Amino acid sequence: MSSEDFEELDCVLCSQLLYEPVTIYCGHTFCRQCLTRCLDHTNQCPLCREVVHIDPQSAPVSIVLQNIIQKLLPEKFKERKAEIEQEIQATKQHLPLFGLSASCFPGQQFPMHIFEPRYRLMIRRVLQGSRSFGLVGSHKDPSSPQGYSLNSVGCCLQITQYQGLPDGRSIINTVGTKRFKILEKWDVDGYVVGRVEYLEDILPSQEYYEKTKESANLLKTKVSEFAQSCGLLAVVCPDLQQVVEEVHHIPPVGETVEEWNSFSYWVCKILPITSTLQQSLLEINSLSERLSTLHLLIQQGIANPLNCSLPPVPPAA
């Protein structure tokens, strides 16, 4: 018999041999990954429109049907399995990118609500692999069909906690790990992936150890002064409330340049500045330059705490 004699063993969604077949309550069967992606857009069966109440990712595979497929079409089953595994492997070789109007810094906690179908798919794949993806800020771009374009520098996010909701949405907690620069990007199933270069911060040499330590400690003092200057003004400008609250959890500056670098990123995340300024800070590669820039921003904030849009950051080297 030829494979054409077993067309009823094909998935009606992808028109290929059923792989990890899942049968739902209405009696219809689909590939697990096909059904999962379909339910990103609706909670109904693709054929009869009955409401689906199961999570296809955790639903059991139809063992009887899978055994029949493997016995009747062993070669075609192997080919299909190889295709799926190759597709999964390909998604792990490049960094998925999540475009947002905000930026994140290394060490920063960043909770997210995932509800768009394309990002539901992306997060599922990420959870099956490294649990990391890239957060990239965006800027207005009239020449782009979407009206915006992604920035060239972003921050990797590591998923630390995942909570799936019954309707397919999810709440995730993430933490920023390292910065990256996008070298090339393209679309995969509705979301963007990229080939990236991870960026290393330029830390000062031993020759400038004492000077950098003094700069970091001075910045800590200025942050405290800035929080004090906010005071009651936080009622007028809610953006200042974060500074007042965060200053109670100010981290120790420490004795190493790595600790000073982490402290500088902590300051970056608490400042009540625009997304454009956040992006400028994220693109700075040098600790010394970042500390100098933060000194200027904080000094301006102390002088005028209501000016939540602090002055432009000098171009990064």
Alpha helices of 96-238 — where are they, by DSSP H?
117-128, 209-230
Query: What global pTM score does this model have?
Result: 0.71
Residue 310 lies in a domain: no
Show which of 174, 198, 222 is a domain's final residue: 198
Tell me if 40 sits within 8 A of 49, measured CB to CB.
no
Residue 174 lies in a domain: yes
From CA 264, how far away is CA 51, in angstroms rounded? 50
The region that residue 250 occupies, defined by phi over 0 for left and psi between -120 and 50 for alpha, beta otherwise, is: beta
Looking at the fold, whether 69 and 86 belong to one and the same domain comes out as yes
What pLDDT was estimated at residue 99? 92
Looking at the fold, whether 168 and 185 belong to one and the same domain comes out as yes
Number of domain units in the chain = 3
Show which of 37, 60, 91 is a domain's final residue: 91
Bigger pLDDT: 192 vs 270: 192
Q: Would the CA dihedral through 29, 30, 36, 38 be positive or negative? A: negative
Rounded mean pLDDT, 196-219: 90
Show which of 198, 225, 257 is a domain's final residue: 198
Looking at the fold, whether 8 and 86 belong to one and the same domain comes out as yes
Bigger pLDDT: 312 vs 11: 11
Alpha helices of 145-286 — where are they, by DSSP H?
209-230, 239-246, 257-270, 275-282
Maximum Cα–Cα distance for the chain, whole Å? 83
Looking at the fold, whether 152 and 189 belong to one and the same domain comes out as yes
Q: Is the pLDDT of residue 91 over 80?
A: no
Tell me if 250 sits within 8 A of 265, measured CB to CB.
no
Residue 308 lies in a domain: no
Looking at the fold, whether 73 and 104 belong to one and the same domain comes out as no
Residue 24 lies in a domain: yes
CATH for 169: 2.30.130.40
| pLDDT tens digit sequence for 14-71 | 999 999 999 998 999 999 989 988 887 888 899 999 988 888 878 899 999 999 999 9
Q: Would the CA dihedral through 228, 232, 233, 239 be positive or negative? A: positive
Residues with Cβ within 8 Å of residue 56, at least 6 apart in sequence: 22, 32, 35, 36, 39
Can you give the residue range of the structural domain that contains 157? Answer: 94-198
Looking at the fold, whether 84 and 167 belong to one and the same domain comes out as no
Looking at the fold, whether 41 and 135 belong to one and the same domain comes out as no
Residue 309 lies in a domain: no
> What is the DSSP code (8-state) at residue 147?
S
Residue 74 lies in a domain: yes
Tell me if 174 sits within 8 A of 159, measured CB to CB.
yes
